[in-house]
Every structure is written in structure tokens, then in C-alpha cells.
């Protein structure tokens, strides 16, 4: 951290960090802006070609081990106990050949790799760039359809709330809690409430009146 920077603020929900803030940046959890899905499915949803590399997650137990590893791992060392699976031989052979090609390049070459640490840096970039493109397209839809800048929110529900309140008629009365003396009125309102499961048949829904679309619900 630079001099003058404050210690980061962490916002945690359950076991997940939703936001990390400092005076210089604000990191948000991209999973809070979409329905639960795998990384590959998220890229596919926004028509982004995945260019994800491979890395032996369980092989190294320290940064020093990664920096000192100059030989590309064997195929067996890519096995994951978490998923009980291994990468395909085609993916492995491509990755090994790519690492060896870069390892053989002369010193000073922009693509030169000297250890698995260089491969890890390249791997992380392969993971991030497609995600950034997918999020740019996603956030553009939030702005085009709902006129909301998603980067100013912490999650999807906040965007939905702000978009819906833009359609609230200022001439209507505000919702408020009844006082104890008016408990009979509150009970009357609650007795007349009818509701149930709601099905929405389209994910891309225009809520602005100018689009003249109808939304159908089962109540």
C-alpha cells in the first residue's frame, strides 16, 4: 500500500467477500451481478470465447516452489481431487508445447518464460480478460435496458430496486407502518392480501413504459 492509503474495508456476507474498498479502488464480486452459474457458462451467455489455460492447482504448496519450477508438470500432476478429474490430453499437450516454446525464447523476449511463475501470470490473464469482456457487455445491458450504471451497485438486487423505483408514481402515497391504535386497519389490509408463486417467462424484460411490452404472471 502507498503512504497515506487507509487499510482496506472488507464487506463480508457469509463466507464470501462482496466488496473490498480502499481510497484508490473498489473491488466487487462479479457473481453478485448474475444468476448462479459456472465461469464457462457466464462467458457463453455473453457470447465470449473462452481462452482459459490450465494450471496444476494442487501441485505446489508455496510461492517459492512455483518460482523454482522450470519443468512443465506431467499430465498426472494436473489431477484435481476437488473435481475428481484431470484435464484432457489435448489441453495438456497444447499447454506443455506452449510453455516449452516460450521457455526456449531468448532473454528479453516479451513472451519469454523462465519458470512456472511466468506461466501462472499468463494463466491468470487468460482467466481475467474474457471475464472483463463479458462484464462489459452485461453492464451495457443494464444501462441500455434499465438506465442503471451497474458499477455503482453492490449486487443485482440493488439494480432491480433502483430500476423499479424509477417507475414509481410520485403522486401515490408512500408505504408506511400503521400505529398501534390503527392495528385494525393493518389487519384488514393483511387479510385482503392475495399472492403466491410468480413465474417470469423472459429474463430480458423491458420495464419502461415506452417499450409498450406486457409481462404476464401467475398469481
Q: What does 207-218 look like in DSSP terms, one character per residue?
A: -SGGG-------
Structural domain includes residue 219 = no
Question: Does residue 216 belong to any structural domain of this protein?
Answer: no
Report pLDDT for 120: 94
3-state secondary structure of 184: helix
In this structure, the number of other CB atoms found within 10 A of the CB of residue 70 comes to: 13
Looking at the structure, tell me whether residues 48 and 131 fall in a common domain. yes
pLDDT digits (tens, 9 = 90+) for 73-89: 999 999 999 889 999 99
25 & 42 share domain: no
Residues 6+ apart with CB under 8 A from 11: 17, 18, 19, 20, 21, 154
Same domain, yes or no, for 149 and 162?
no
The tally of domains found in the chain comes to 3
Alpha carbon distances (Å) from 39 to 44, 85, 170, 194: 9, 17, 41, 39
Q: Please tell me whether residues 24 and 128 are part of one structural domain.
A: no
Q: Is 126 a domain residue?
A: yes
Q: Which residue has the higher pLDDT, 11 or 181?
A: 181
Positions of E strands within 14-172: 16-21, 26-28
pTM: 0.55
How far is Cα 53 from Cα 24, in angstroms, rounded to an integer?
30
Q: Which residue has the cell 498426472?
A: 76
Cell of 78: 494436473
pLDDT exceeds 50 at position 219: no
Residue 2 lies in a domain: yes
Kindly tell me if the per-residue pLDDT of 63 is higher than 70.
yes
Residue partners of 25: CB distance under 8 A and separation at least 6: none
In this structure, are 41 and 143 located in the same domain?
yes
Same domain? 41 vs 118:
yes
Q: Give the residue with greater pLDDT, 43 vs 17.
A: 43
- Which strands, in side-by-side order, build the sheet including 9-13? 9-13, 16-21, 26-28
Average pLDDT value for residue range 166-187:
78
For residue 126, what pLDDT is reported?
Answer: 83
pLDDT at 114: 96
Indicate whether 27 and 90 sit together in one domain.
no
Burial of 135-171, coded b for 16+ CB within 10 Å and e otherwise, reads: beebbeebeeebebebeebbbeeebeeebeeeeeeee
Give the residue numbers spanning the domain of 166: 157-211
Amino acid at each position: 500500500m502507498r503512504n497515506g492509503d487507509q487499510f482496506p474495508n472488507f464487506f463480508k456476507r457469509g463466507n464470501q467477500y462482496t466488496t473490498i474498498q480502499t481510497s484508490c479502488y473498489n473491488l466487487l464480486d462479479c457473481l453478485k451481478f448474475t444468476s448462479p452459474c459456472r465461469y464457462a457458462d457466464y462467458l457463453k451467455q455473453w457470447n465470449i470465447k473462452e481462452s482459459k489455460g490450465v494450471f496444476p492447482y494442487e501441485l505446489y504448496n508455496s510461492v517459492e516452489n512455483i518460482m523454482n519450477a522450470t519443468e512443465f508438470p506431467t499430465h498426472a500432476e494436473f489431477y484435481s481431487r476437488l473435481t475428481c478429474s484431470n484435464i484432457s490430453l489435448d489441453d495438456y499437450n497444447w499447454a506443455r508445447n506452449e510453455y516449452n516454446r516460450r521457455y526456449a525464447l531468448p532473454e528479453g523476449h516479451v513472451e519469454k518464460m523462465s519458470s512456472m511463475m511466468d506461466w501462472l501470470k499468463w494463466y491468470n490473464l487468460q482467466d481475467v480478460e474474457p471475464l472483463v469482456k463479458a462484464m462489459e457487455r452485461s453492464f451495457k445491458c443494464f444501462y441500455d435496458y434499465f438506465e442503471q450504471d451497474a458499477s455503482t451497485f453492490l449486487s443485482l438486487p440493488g439494480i432491480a430496486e433502483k430500476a423499479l423505483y424509477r417507475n414509481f408514481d410520485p403522486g401515490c402515497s408512500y408505504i408506511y407502518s400503521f400505529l398501534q391504535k390503527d392495528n385494525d386497519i393493518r389487519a384488514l389490509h393483511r387479510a385482503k392480501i392475495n399472492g403466491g408463486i410468480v413465474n417470469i417467462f423472459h429474463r430480458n424484460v423491458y420495464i419502461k413504459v415506452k417499450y409498450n411490452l406486457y409481462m404476464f404472471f401467475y398469481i
